[in-house]
């Protein structure tokens, strides 16, 4: 049958190559079939595998975490999707929960890490997406023993969870995703920057491959406060501790922080500012000195007047570049 031993060897190699290719094709088809026919409550193994090299936690930790999470689910309606470094769990349809995981959670995580955050949160955090306010309020109480103080959603560091009323939109979800990343990468971050970045990205999209915040509903309140002369100096805002920032807020802290971040973004300085602030935090815990240096201004009162004029000229839905 064979003219020479070389021919026989080459034919054997060809046959082995063919068998190998056939085996690989069958394995790929098998995997696709398994993914397609996955049940409603399932572990999205593909996402975990894709992220294996980048996720802090190994796949086995996610698998174990999901097993524990299954025992806590309030009903069979919930879908679980592994979206490192988070696990997303929601009571909308499976397709909708997957879409939120992919188009909101993964989208924001990838872009925030690209510009700001080298480290994932230390532990696996759950993102609970409740389909309406009734589910949100009922389940926050049942699962975490607390009644939400906001209709939109919040991050609970102690429960290692983001607890969201997803019917109010994905903006708050992106805002809350910022917080555990700040906690992991900049533990002493003052509240103004933590909330400035969170609220900047609650209305965001992509510009030149980077996450970009747009003007939003916090603008009119800030404009009114500027007109009324009620916005404090940046030095005061930036040196506020948690209690003063959150509990004694006259209603301008979030807006002023957001639109300072927005101004820096529009001047192309925000990412640089963040990085320099992180590097100089020991000498400058509020970030004020880094801000003055980066803006290259001598008179911060004059700068505040310029910033106020800039904010008063903004409109919701329009993006203004500062040169
Ligand atoms: Zn926040």
- CA 175 – ligand 1 centroid, Å: 6
- CA 194 – ligand 1 centroid, Å: 7
- CA 241 – ligand 1 centroid, Å: 14
Give the pLDDT confidence of 25-36 residue by residue, as tens digits.
Answer: 545 444 343 333
Contact between 166 and 129 (Cβ < 8 Å): yes
pLDDT score recorded for residue 35: 32
Architecture of domain 45-185: 3-Layer(aba) Sandwich (3.40)
User: What residues flank ion ligand 1 with Cβ within 5 A?
Assistant: 195, 198
Report the pLDDT averaged over residues 226-251.
Answer: 94
- CA 62 – ligand 1 centroid, Å: 26
- CA 307 – ligand 1 centroid, Å: 23
- pLDDT band of residue 284 (cuts 50, 70, 90) is very high
- CA 15 – ligand 1 centroid, Å: 61
Give the pLDDT confidence of 103-155 residue by residue, as tens digits.
Answer: 999 999 999 999 999 999 999 999 999 999 999 999 999 999 999 999 999 99
Residue 83 Ramachandran class (φ > 0 left, ψ -120 to 50 alpha, else beta)? beta
- pLDDT band of residue 96 (cuts 50, 70, 90) is very high
- CA 18 – ligand 1 centroid, Å: 57
> Which of 17-21, 34-38, 73-77, 280-284 is the most confident on average?
280-284
The alpha carbon of 136 is separated from its chain's Cα centroid by a whole number of angstroms, namely: 20
User: Within the chain, which residue ranges are assigned CATH 3.40.30.160?
Assistant: 45-185
Residue 57 has pLDDT above 80, yes or no: no
pLDDT score recorded for residue 23: 55
- CA 197 – ligand 1 centroid, Å: 8
Q: Is 199 exposed, middle or buried (CB count within 10 Å of its CB: 0-12, 13-18, 19+)?
A: buried
Q: In terms of pLDDT, which residue wins out, 227 or 251?
A: 227
- CA 182 – ligand 1 centroid, Å: 11
- CA 16 – ligand 1 centroid, Å: 59
């Amino acid at each position: 049958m064979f003219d020479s031993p070389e021919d026989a060897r080459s034919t054997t190699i060809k046959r082995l190559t063919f068998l190998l290719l056939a085996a690989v094709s069958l394995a790929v088809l098998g995997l696709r079939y398994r993914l397609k026919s996955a049940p409603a409550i399932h572990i999205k193994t593909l996402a975990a595998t894709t992220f294996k090299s980048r996720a802090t936690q190994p796949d086995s930790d996610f698998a174990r975490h999901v097993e524990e999470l299954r025992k806590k689910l309030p009903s069979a309606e919930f879908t679980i999707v592994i979206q490192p470094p988070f696990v997303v769990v929601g009571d909308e349809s499976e397709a909708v929960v997957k879409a939120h995981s992919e188009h909101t959670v993964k989208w924001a995580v990838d872009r925030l890490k690209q510009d700001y955050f080298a480290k994932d949160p230390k532990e696996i955090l759950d993102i609970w997406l409740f389909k309406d306010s009734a589910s949100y309020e009922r389940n926050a109480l049942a699962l975490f023993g607390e009644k939400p103080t906001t209709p939109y959603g919040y991050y609970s560091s102690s429960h290692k969870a983001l607890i969201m009323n997803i019917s109010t939109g994905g903006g708050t979800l992106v805002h809350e995703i910022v917080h555990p990343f700040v906690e992991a990468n900049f533990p002493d971050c003052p509240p103004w920057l933590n909330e400035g970045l969170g609220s900047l990205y609650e209305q965001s999209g992509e510009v030149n491959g980077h996450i970009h915040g747009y003007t939003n509903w916090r603008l009119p309140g800030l404009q009114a406060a500027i007109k009324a002369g009620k916005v404090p100096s940046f030095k005061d805002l930036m040196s506020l501790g948690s209690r003063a920032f959150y509990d004694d807020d006259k209603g301008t802290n979030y807006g002023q922080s957001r639109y300072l971040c927005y101004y820096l973004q529009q001047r192309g300085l925000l990412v640089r500012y963040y990085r320099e602030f992180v590097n100089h935090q020991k000498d400058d815990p509020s970030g004020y000195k880094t801000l003055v240096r980066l803006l290259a201004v001598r008179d911060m009162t004059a700068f505040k007047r310029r910033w106020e004029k800039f904010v008063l000229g903004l409109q919701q839905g329009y993006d203004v570049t500062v040169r």
